[in-house]
Structure formats: C-alpha cells, structure tokens
C-alpha cells in the first residue's frame, strides 16, 4: 500500500518517507516548485540500468506519489502541469459545458484532422512525409485555461447533472463560465514514433504565452461521427488522462475517473510494457478487475 509521511520541511523543499506498493521505503525531498532534490531507497539498485522495468516503475510511482502528497497536504504547486489530475478534471468539466459552436471555434481544426481519416474533408495540417503507415501516429492539441475556471467551484456534478452547490447560485451559466475559462488553444500537433523507436513531433500555432498549457489532448487517429460525439471524446480523453495520473502513483482513481480508453501515449506504452503491474486500462472493452483500491491508503483522497 502506498503510504507517505512528512519528516522535514525547509524554505525550499519538503522531505517525506514513502512506502511503495512493493513495501520498499523511500526518502524523497520534493522542491516546492515540484523538482526532486533528493531520493534514496532501501530495496532496489541505485543504478536504474540494474533494476527491472517493474522496479524502476515502483521508484517512479514513489516519486509521483510524493509530489502528489505534498500538493494535497501542503498546497504547494509540485505537480507537472500536464500530469495534474485536478487540472485534467477541471478541464473535462469546462469542455463538457462548451456549446457545439464553441467546440467548433476552439477545436474545429482537431475535428477536421480526425474527420480527414474517413475521407470526409482535407486535413487541417499535413502529415509529414516522413511518417510511414506502420509508424505510431498521434494527434495533440493544447488548451490554456484562465482564472474564470475558479467560478466552477460554485457547481458540482450531482445526480448526473451539473448543478449549483447552493440555491443562491442562480445567475451563473456553466456554459458561459466554461467559455470565459478558455484563454487560448494551440494548433494541431503531430506526434509519431517511427519503426526505429525514434519519437518526432511537428508542432503548429503555439500561443505566445509564457506558461505551459493547462492540458494537452492526445489521440490516435479515429473518425468522430459528429461534433457532439467529438466533444464527448475530448472529455473522455481528459478523464482517461486523470485516471492515468492516479494509476501511475500506485493508487486508485476516483469513481468518476474509473474509465477505460486512451489517455496519453506514455501510459499507452506503460500499460502494455508493464502488464505484470497494470491492467489494460487503455483498452475500452477490456475487463478490468483491479483499480488499485487495495494499494490506496484508507482515508486518502480519492477514496476518503
């Protein structure tokens, strides 16, 4: 079971003792801006090349869980922007509330790129000539959210509907909040892994913002039937990415994030390579018998 306790704190970092799911003890110092400034453990080789793939993953799980525990319990911004389950959950709520007109305005190029695989339209961006049919091809698109996102604290998902937390919230439209929350989007990026296992990325139309995107959508080529189903696919991808964050920390996702399907390329590979540790969460129709409840500390978010 994953466990963490604080053992020291300075002006720059927080020290923790973490017990991983292999019952190995780690001492990890997490900088308050998210870096790892120290890490020792008593159960594996100090040389990553001398560890098994599973042992290396236990080490990485401990580091991810340490960052998450500091964020949850101390409030420091220790999580990488694109590996932040709360960001991903909030973004999923935003996108799910956007009108189809706004979906087309913000994500129309992404929709067009995917529809081009069914011969319905020309692609929004050309696939580089270097991409071969046998390569692993992925599409990405970045979303930047702003401070209007905080207004979503006035709502909660209840009884299958997005509702105000209190009866006094009557003049705030979730769709309007969602639209104001969107600051910018990127163009469609093309990412591919060639047959020699070399990764390539062709990026397009990145906003002139001095910060990382809030979330990054990622998908294998597929052909959405409509803008409505495309919006659902965007929300589902973010939910799968949030699921991946929790699974990658060695703990269970919240109930609403126990979904199956493609999240990110990294976890797509991880679930296949480390099938002795992980179930095939990336497969929509796979039978999942373990969401890692047994390795989630009692009373610890998200099972509190």
Is a pLDDT exceeding 90 seen at residue 89?
no
From the number of C-beta atoms within 10 Å of its C-beta (0-12, 13-18, 19+), residue 298 rates as exposed
Is a pLDDT exceeding 50 seen at residue 304?
no
Selection from 236, 241, 286, 234 nearest residue 263 by Cα: 241
Residue with tokens 């998200």: 302
Is a pLDDT exceeding 90 seen at residue 248?
yes
Read off the pLDDT of each residue in 21-45 and give the average, rounded to a whole number.
96
Instruction: Please tell me the distance from the alpha carbon of residue 185 to that of residue 215, in angstroms, as a whole number.
Output: 10
So what's the pLDDT on residue 162?
A: 58
pLDDT digits (tens, 9 = 90+) for 45-75: 999 999 999 999 999 999 999 999 999 999 9
- Phi then psi for residue 40, to 5 deg, are -130, 155
So what's the pLDDT on residue 303?
A: 43
Binned at pLDDT 50, 70 and 90, residue 267 comes out as: very high
Residue with tokens 């509190």: 304
What single DSSP character describes residue 213?
A: -
Is a pLDDT exceeding 60 seen at residue 209?
yes
Instruction: Please tell me the distance from the alpha carbon of residue 253 to that of residue 243, in angstroms, as a whole number.
Output: 5
Which residue has better confidence, 163 or 146? 146
DSSP 92-141: HHHHHHS-HHHHHHHHHHHHHHHHGGGTSS--SSPPPTT--TTSEEEEEE
Is a pLDDT exceeding 90 seen at residue 206?
yes
Binned at pLDDT 50, 70 and 90, residue 39 comes out as: very high
Instruction: Please list, in sequence order, all residues whose beta carbon lies within 8 angstroms of the beta carbon of residue 64, skipping any fewer than 6 positions away.
Output: 83, 245, 248, 249, 250
Contact between residue 188 and residue 110 where contact means Cβ atoms under 8 Å apart: yes
Instruction: Please tell me the distance from the alpha carbon of residue 127 to that of residue 123, in angstroms, as a whole number.
Output: 8
- pLDDT-above-70 percentage for the chain: 90
So what's the pLDDT on residue 173?
A: 73
Is a pLDDT exceeding 90 seen at residue 2?
yes
So what's the pLDDT on residue 154?
A: 67
Is a pLDDT exceeding 90 seen at residue 171?
no
So what's the pLDDT on residue 297?
A: 85
Residues 216, 220, 225: CA angle, nearest 5 degrees: 100
Binned at pLDDT 50, 70 and 90, residue 157 comes out as: low
Please report, for residues 92, 98, 239, 273, the alpha-carbon distance to residue 177 in angstroms, rounded to integers and kept in the order given: 13, 9, 20, 41
Instruction: Please tell me the distance from the alpha carbon of residue 103 to that of residue 85, in angstroms, as a whole number.
Output: 22
What single DSSP character describes residue 196?
A: T
Read off the pLDDT of each residue in 222-249 and give the average, rounded to a whole number.
96
Contact between residue 223 and residue 121 where contact means Cβ atoms under 8 Å apart: no
Read off the pLDDT of each residue in 225-239 and give the average, rounded to a whole number.
96
Selection from 11, 50, 53 nearest residue 32 by Cα: 11
């Amino acid at each position: 079971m994953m466990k963490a306790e604080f053992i020291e704190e300075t002006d720059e970092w927080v020290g923790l003792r973490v017990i991983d799911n292999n019952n190995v003890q780690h001492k990890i110092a997490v900088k308050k801006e998210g870096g790892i400034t120290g890490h020792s453990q008593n159960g594996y080789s100090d040389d990553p090349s001398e560890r098994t793939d599973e042992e290396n993953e236990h080490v990485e799980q401990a580091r991810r869980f340490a960052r998450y525990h500091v964020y949850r319990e101390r409030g420091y911004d220790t999580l990488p922007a694109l590996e932040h389950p709360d960001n991903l959950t909030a973004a999923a709520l935003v996108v799910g509330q956007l009108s189809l007109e706004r979906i087309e305005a913000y994500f129309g190029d992404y929709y067009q790129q995917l529809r081009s695989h069914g011969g319905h339209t020309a692609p929004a961006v050309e696939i580089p000539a270097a991409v071969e049919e046998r390569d692993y091809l992925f599409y990405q698109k970045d979303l930047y959210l702003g401070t209007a996102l905080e207004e979503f604290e006035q709502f909660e998902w209840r009884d299958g509907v997005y509702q105000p937390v209190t009866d006094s919230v009557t003049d705030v439209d979730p769709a309007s909040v969602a639209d104001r929350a969107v600051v910018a989007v990127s163009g469609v990026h093309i990412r591919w892994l060639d047959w020699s296992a070399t990764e390539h990325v062709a990026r397009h139309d990145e906003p002139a913002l001095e910060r990382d995107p809030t979330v990054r959508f990622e998908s294998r080529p597929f052909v959405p039937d409509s803008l409505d189903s495309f919006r659902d696919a965007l929300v589902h991808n973010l939910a799968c990415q949030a699921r991946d964050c929790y699974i990658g920390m060695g703990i269970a996702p919240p109930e609403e994030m126990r979904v199956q399907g493609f999240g990110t390329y990294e976890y797509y590979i991880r679930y296949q390579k480390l099938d002795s540790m992980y179930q095939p969460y990336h497969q929509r129709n796979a039978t999942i018998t373990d969401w890692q409840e047994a390795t989630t500390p009692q009373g610890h978010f998200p099972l509190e």
